[in-house]
Amino acid sequence: MSLKEKFGNKIKTLREQKGYSIEYLANISNIDRTYISDIEKGTRNVSLLIIEKLAKAFEIKIQDLFDYEES
């Protein structure tokens, strides 16, 4: 599994744990919903600014977005 896929899985898992729809996450993070969908699919190379927006939306530290099991 690629790093982009691992990151995308982490975002999807966090979103589902919070009970957020993609649309809601898009609204609170100010990121386009199709961009979030692409992140979750592992097809986007995410910038630091997007990572920061996602961490703020989930109310977690940036490093927590990279806390996933190695596959």
Going residue by residue through the chain, which has 71 residues, state the pLDDT in tens, using 9 for 90 and above.
899 999 999 999 999 999 999 999 999 999 999 999 999 999 999 999 999 999 999 999 999 999 876 54
Residue-number span of the structural domain to which 33 is assigned: 3-59
CATH of the domain at 41: 1.10.260.40
Q: What is the pTM of this model?
A: 0.91
Q: Report the pLDDT value the prediction gives residue 71, as an integer from 0 to 100.
A: 44
Number of domains in the chain: 1
Tell me, yes or no, whether 65 lies in a domain: no
Best CA proximity match to 41, nearest among 33, 30, 53: 33
Tell me, yes or no, whether 25 lies in a domain: yes
Q: Report the pLDDT value the prediction gives residue 70, as an integer from 0 to 100.
A: 55
Tell me, yes or no, whether 67 lies in a domain: no
Structure tokens at 47: 């910038």
Q: What angle do CA 12, 16, 21 make, to 5 degrees?
A: 90
